[in-house]
Structure 1
Amino acid sequence: MARKKKVDQQELMQVTEELLLKIGYERLNFKLIATQLFVGRSTIYEYYSNKEELVSEYMLKLMNQVLERVDQIEEGESVDPLTNLRKVLSVLLDYNHVHLITEITPVLDRTSPIVDQKLVKLAELEQKLFTFIHTQFQIAEQLGVLRQDVQVQIKTNFLYQLIKLKKEENIEREEWADVLFSLLINGLKK
């Protein structure tokens, strides 16, 4: 009797991400994932009971990766909030598919305690990210380097939404980050 092939968790998450980006959450299923991994569907079911458990695990891992990078900014020596905001934007651009979390979370079936637990943790991590960004904007306002007539929450949301903009093909990622940050901080005025 042949042994069942084991699935590498990192590879499973990678395939899940690729399919989510290519076909979306609604069309994602274990058969497609199994085909990509050259295993049977039953092998995927050994790890996850349903699509919601898999996707919520993927989203949790993604947000953890983002926050690991943001924590490095926090631990860094820069106390300049604009420098920190620019670094956060760079991290978000590296993980520009993180917006999937905000799009998928509302449609996940939370009846499973496992899924619900992961989504609660995900919300905590997302709040940590927004709190860091929010705090950097507040500090910048207090230092007088940013206008105060726009609510900090709007600035925070605006920065987060920048990652959804499609990057021009002929612009390198760091240059793209500079352009977006300049637009965020300086606007479009000459």
Structure 2
Amino acid sequence: DLPTMPPAISRTTLYPALAWFYHTEYRGQAIRVARLLQPVNEDNVVGMAEIYVAETLQSRRYLASQLLFSSWVSQGLLVLLTLVLTAWLLRRVLRPMRQLSSLMVRREPGLLAPLPELLPWSETRLLIVAFNRYIDRLRGVLSRQERFNADASHQLKTPLAVLKTQVSVALTRQDPALWQESLRA
């Protein structure tokens, strides 16, 4: 005894079957009705069956609010779980980077020892290898610079000794003409 479909309602484009959806009232309550035409071809019966299904809008709204609430809860829990797991994973993954950073901050300025392999990932291990190679090259540059400084110092000692001797000789003489001779030499 559901109300029949009003004549102005066209078939829905959202559902490809022969279906219509409409709102009406039934026994004083607002309802949503679905009308479906179903072909029948059994034994001696051939034709079209009309199927009507309805639900009250109140139950429909209640179901929609329950679905919305459960999806909010489940999605909220999923987001919260994702955030917690992401934070835990980032802390765990970045722990070796923090150890390396702490080691670099506490490192003595002149220390040219290679860095230990603290980073477990192959992508970051290359960073340590490159840094250690850089330290090796820097150690070589500093060694060459120290040798150069030692050679230059050694080569400058003899002329400085001669100059010091000439100045000492000039200071021991009383005659200004001898001072000039010693200073020219």
Same structural fold, with TM-score higher than 0.5 when normalized by the shorter chain: no
**TM-score if structure 1 supplies the norm length?**
0.27
Q: Which has the higher strand share?
A: 2
Structure showing greater radius of gyration is 2
**TM-score if structure 2 supplies the norm length?**
0.27
Q: Which has the higher helix share?
A: 1
